């Protein structure tokens, strides 16, 4: 495809959050009842944490949110201006401005819905020993409305896109928007993709997840999420390859694309279930001293994967790019990366 025909090829919809990232200690995790590697929504008891993180000398503010991270990384890998777009809700404030500037710098065509009643969402990223624990305070991100999606200037992004990606986190915000985009994708033979995103999504938002699932052509997730997905369905197996296969064989709304399941396992091989078969791909191992933090690794993995998928490359190539992007991002703080990719 000529670069012009890539315009808006990939669309993401999700929760734009500003990451407030700092290195903390075990006592900090204990104080706020957090587990390393986990991802949760903020409750009342977590709210003082944001100021406490902000007062640490090493705090960084990085534009984040799972879907937006993946779209930014895909854009970085593609190096084709305007290839990607993103929609989500921000507040009318300093953090919202920062988000806007960041998307622009990244080359992503962001159509934010602005909500004046809530501040831009934030995500506390508590890093201990390179492992991150995430606590999202959605605020404005939680205010996204289907009406925004239906506006002609935004719906054109959906119509232009050939690939649509939405993290599972958005199921807690606007399942109607997901349904609208999913049905459009099925009706027009586009590729619709989601992420399991977190154990709590698989456990507590199962109904919304189940409603979207028949439309999902590619589903991403990690081993913990996959096992939780299996557990709530009473599958009685902890075997990730088996689970990936079962997920790929769940019913589909449209027969155009068969579902492909892609599960990461940290430094263990990536599992891909496709057409009744499972393949595993080793990841690029990184010496411990080069690891900065795992924040954004899964998002970057998806972004790398999507950057090749939209170019109609093979699954092997998609996984190779995914592993490359994740490897780069874990050597940087948050979901950030050097100016140009070194992937060929």
The whole-number pLDDT of residue 288 equals: 84
Q: Round to whole Å and give the CA distance between 207 and 203.
A: 9
Pairing of strands 191-195, 163-167: parallel
Nearest C-alpha neighbor of 197 from the set 226, 235, 177, 236: 226
Q: DSSP 3-state assignment of 263?
A: strand
Nearest C-alpha neighbor of 190 from the set 158, 220, 214, 166: 158
The whole-number pLDDT of residue 136 equals: 94
Nearest C-alpha neighbor of 120 from the set 91, 142, 98: 91
The whole-number pLDDT of residue 1 equals: 56
Tokens coding 207: 């109904």
Pairing of strands 122-128, 17-23: parallel
The whole-number pLDDT of residue 223 equals: 97
Residue 188 near residue 162, CB atoms below 8 Å: no
> Is 299 one of the catalytic residues?
yes
Pairing of strands 109-115, 60-64: unpaired
Instruction: Indicate left, alpha or beta for 142 from its phi (over 0: left) and psi (-120 to 50: alpha).
Output: alpha
Tokens coding 203: 């456990």
Q: Round to whole Å and give the CA distance between 181 and 187.
A: 10
Q: DSSP 3-state assignment of 197?
A: coil
pLDDT in tens, the chain (344 residues): 556 689 999 999 999 999 898 999 999 999 999 999 899 999 999 999 998 998 888 888 888 899 999 999 999 999 998 999 999 999 999 999 989 998 999 999 999 999 999 999 999 999 998 888 999 999 999 999 999 999 999 999 999 999 999 999 999 999 999 999 999 999 999 999 999 999 999 999 999 999 999 999 999 999 999 999 999 999 999 999 999 999 999 999 988 899 999 999 998 999 999 999 999 999 988 988 888 877 789 999 999 999 999 999 999 999 999 999 999 998 987 788 888 999 98
Tokens coding 15: 């929760």
User: Which candidate in 19, 217, 293, 299 is catalytic?
Assistant: 299
The conformation of residue 237, written as its DSSP 8-state character, comes to -
């Amino acid at each position: 495809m000529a670069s012009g025909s890539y315009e808006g090829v990939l669309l993401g919809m999700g929760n734009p959050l500003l990451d407030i990232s700092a290195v903390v200690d075990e006592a900090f995790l204990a104080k706020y009842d957090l587990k390393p590697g986990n991802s949760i929504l903020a409750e009342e008891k977590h709210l003082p944490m944001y100021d406490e993180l902000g007062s640490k000398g090493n705090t960084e503010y990085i534009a984040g949110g799972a879907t937006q991270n993946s779209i930014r990384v895909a854009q970085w890998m593609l190096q084709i201006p305007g290839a990607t777009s993103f929609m989500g809700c921000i507040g009318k404030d300093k953090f919202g401005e920062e988000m806007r500037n960041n998307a622009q710098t990244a080359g992503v065509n962001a159509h934010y819905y602005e909500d004046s009643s809530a501040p831009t969402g934030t995500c506390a990223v508590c890093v201990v020993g390179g492992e991150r624990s995430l606590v999202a305070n959605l605020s404005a991100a939680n205010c996204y409305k289907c009406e925004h999606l239906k506006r002609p200037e935004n719906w054109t992004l959906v119509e232009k896109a050939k690939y649509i990606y939405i993290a599972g986190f958005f199921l807690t915000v606007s399942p109607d928007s997901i349904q609208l985009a999913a049905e459009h994708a099925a009706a027009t033979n586009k590729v619709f993709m989601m992420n399991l995103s977190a154990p709590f999504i698989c456990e507590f938002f199962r109904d919304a997840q189940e409603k979207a699932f028949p439309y999902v052509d590619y589903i991403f997730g990690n081993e913990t999420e996959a096992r939780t997905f299996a557990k709530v369905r009473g599958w009685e197996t902890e075997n990730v390859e088996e689970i990936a296969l079962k997920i790929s064989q769940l019913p589909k709304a449209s027969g155009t694309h068969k579902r492909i399941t892609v599960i990461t396992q940290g430094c263990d091989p990536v599992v891909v279930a496709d057409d009744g078969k499972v393949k595993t791909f080793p990841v690029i191992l990184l010496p411990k001293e080069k690891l900065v933090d795992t924040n954004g690794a899964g998002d970057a993995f998806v972004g790398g994967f999507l950057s090749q998928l939209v170019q109609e490359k093979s699954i092997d190539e998609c996984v190779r790019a995914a592993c490359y992007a994740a490897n780069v991002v874990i050597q940087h703080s948050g979901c950030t990366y050097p100016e140009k990719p070194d992937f060929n």
